[in-house]
Copies of this chain bind each other. A is one copy, B any other.
Amino acid sequence: MIILGVDPGLTRCGVGVIEAGAHRRLSFVHVDVVRSSPDMSQDLRLLAIYNGLAAKIDRFAPDTVSIERVFAQENRNTVLGTAQAAGMAMLAAAQRGIPVALHTPTESKLAITGNGHALKPQMERMVARILGLNEPPTPADAADALAIAICHALRPAGALQGGEREQHLTPAQRQWAQAAQRSSGRGRRNADRGM
């Protein structure tokens, strides 16, 4: 199973690809950063990010695209661009019929280090160890994208909820689940707070 992780950003958008084998054995496939220049207009920046992400998805044909969830509380100057970059990743995946999973930074830290407040150097070391690399992957800020991919592979099965669970259903199962959620009046409400 190939998982493509995305650490969304408008100036630098991290992409990390891993392969998840039997017994949760994970291996490194690819890491890179898709960029857009702050000197370009917003529409052309989004086009650059979309084209870069779509090319990665076409190249690695992932089974799931795992994206870091963006929250409205984050840095006001960049949060909208970050959310839009995440939107480009979601669109590129959805257009290809590839399921999307959203994971928070805390989920990622917990899954990888067992500590939801782990610091960046610890995360980088653990990402390298889990993937059997001699050194932390570079560029360093693309390690977050690998972490989001690993998080999806290592997540406890019981932790799936809301939209994430729907992603692994057939279209018929998904409709059924959505109808069940509607009738229960719960379901995606909380998940919708974050993007």
A interface with B by C-beta (< 8 Å):
38-44, 46-47, 50, 70-73, 76-77, 79-81, 83-84, 86-88, 90-91, 93-95, 100, 102, 163, 166-167, 178, 181-182, 188, 192-195
CB pair B81 A84 closer than 8 Å? no
Interchain residue pairs with CB less than 8 A apart (27): A39-B188, A40-B178, A41-B100, A41-B166, A41-B167, A42-B163, A42-B192, A43-B94, A43-B100, A44-B94, A46-B90, A46-B91, A46-B94, A47-B90, A47-B91, A47-B94, A50-B91, A72-B76, A72-B80, A73-B76, A79-B80, A80-B195, A81-B195, A84-B84, A84-B87, A84-B195, A88-B91
CA distance in complex: A38, B42 (Å):
27
From A42, A94, A163, residue with most partner B Cβ within 10 Å: A42
Interface residues of chain A: helix, strand, loop or mixed (majority): helix
**Bound Cα distance from A42 to B67, whole angstroms:** 12
Known contacts A38-B192, A188-B38, A192-B38; decide if A43 and B80 are in contact (CB<8 Å).
no
Bound-state CA distance A126–B114 (Å) is 59
CA distance A91 to B47 in the complex (A): 6
